[in-house]
Structure 1
Amino acid sequence: MRRLENAFVTLNGIVLVLGLMVMSVILGWNVLGRYLTGNSLTWADEVARYSMIWLTFLGSGLALREGAHAAITNAQDAMPGPLQHALRVLILLALLGFFAFMVWVGIDYMNRMAVQRSAALRVPMKWVYAAMPAGFALMIVHLALMAPRYLRAGLQHSEETALG
């Protein structure tokens, strides 16, 4: 299971790096063309904007895994073991519920935008808005994979505090 999780995290990171590389090349080419020839690609800004949206949502699961989202751990760390464990379970359930709700909202919003098209690329905006449910679905997977360690870390932390 651990090997599968590492492959999933690695694949998620590779997709982000490749997406950022493509976005950088397109923007660099556009800037270079603008200053050397006075012309720019009409679609480059749109690609960059939509790439950034997708990269943000696809990277949010890795940010969750690294603890990069806002969190307040002082109250949790000050609690005794069983209460801290219960709070961690509550936090996991609240996050899971929120992420699932956002997948549902994202799919609904994506479907509402199905008829609209982007200005330069004429891409259905549905695919731009699909970043939201895709990103939150990835966050659910990351949360499920890291939940056992998150719960064990709380128990280990409380045992160390009791011993120390």
Structure 2
Amino acid sequence: MLRQIDRAILGLNRLLLIVALAAMSVIVFANVMLRYTTGDSIVWAEEVARYLMIWLAYLGIGPVLRLGGHMAIDTLQAGLGEPRAKLLRLLIVLLMACFSAAMVWIGVDFVDRTSVQSTPVTDISFSWIAAAIPVGFALNLWHLLAVARGYVTDREFEVSADLDPDQAASI
């Protein structure tokens, strides 16, 4: 049952990323086309695209982590013996979990503090944009816990057929 919940959360996370990227792409494309064809642009396009980019960045942290896609310098653990390397990886996971939990906590406070501000053009509460921080790091914490055991014990991350680097290199 936990695996089904995990797959549902990962699927929802990916869907949100796809929708945000698609919406941002359509908005920017339409704005550029209008600017070049009519000389006018959509007033709110740049602002909305910027806020979608913020959401994309925070929502993307967890899925990238699951695949081991964040930049890392792993020469230290490669130079340690396996028992010490496992302890180092455990420490890394604990630090990442603490940081993610702290960012959720700080992010919730930030959302509360920004609720009195509104965006300049669309006039929506800035807390909707700030909510990307606690949501993104809560999802990151979930994704971290999903791969922690494999990372600590075997230095492995998830593998996705959708994101096979060998297949991407051959395109």
**Normalising to structure 1: TM-score of the pair?**
0.87
Partner Cα distance (2:112, 2:16) in 1? 25
- Give runs of aligned pairs for residues 115-126 of structure 1, distance below 5 A: 115-126=116-127
**Where does residue 159 of structure 1 map in the other structure?**
none
Residue equivalent to 1:64: 65
Residue in structure 2 matched with residue 9 of structure 1 by the alignment: 10
- Note the C-alpha offset of 1:11: 2.7
Supply the distance in 2 between the matched residues of 1:76 and 1:2 (Cα, whole angstroms).
29
Aligned CA RMSD, in angstroms, stands at 1.6
More divergent stretch after superposition (120-129 vs 13-22): 13-22
The match for 1:98 is 99
Corresponding residue for residue 30 of structure 1: 31
Query: Deviations along 1:119-163, whole A, 9 cap, x unmatched?
Result: 1110000111110111111110000111111122149xxxxxxxx
State whether residues 100 and 137 of structure 1, in contact with CA within 8 Å, keep that contact through their aligned partners in structure 2.
yes
Q: Report how many aligned residue pairs link the two structures.
A: 155
Aligned residue number for residue 158 of structure 1? none
Q: Residue 52 in 1 paired to residue 53 in 2?
A: yes
CA separation of 1:147 and 1:34: change in aligned 2, threshold 3 A: same
1:115–1:124 CA contact under 8 A, matched in 2 = yes
Identity of aligned residues (%): 43
CA spacing shift, 1:154–1:22, aligned 2, 3 Å? closer
TM-score by length of 2: 0.84
Local SS of the residue matching 2:46: helix
Is the 8 Å Cα contact of residues 96 and 143 (structure 1) preserved in structure 2?
Answer: yes
Post-superposition Cα deviations, 1:45-90, rounded to whole Å, max 9, x if no partner, equal 1110000000010001112122222312111122222212211111
Q: Do 1:53 and 1:131's aligned partners in 2 also have CA atoms closer than 8 Å?
A: yes
SS at match of 1:118: coil
Task: Could you tell me which runs of 5 or more consecutive residues in structure 1 were left unpaired when the two chains were aligned.
Answer: 156-164
Higher Cα radius of gyration? 1
What is the CA distance between 1:14 and its match in structure 2?
2.1
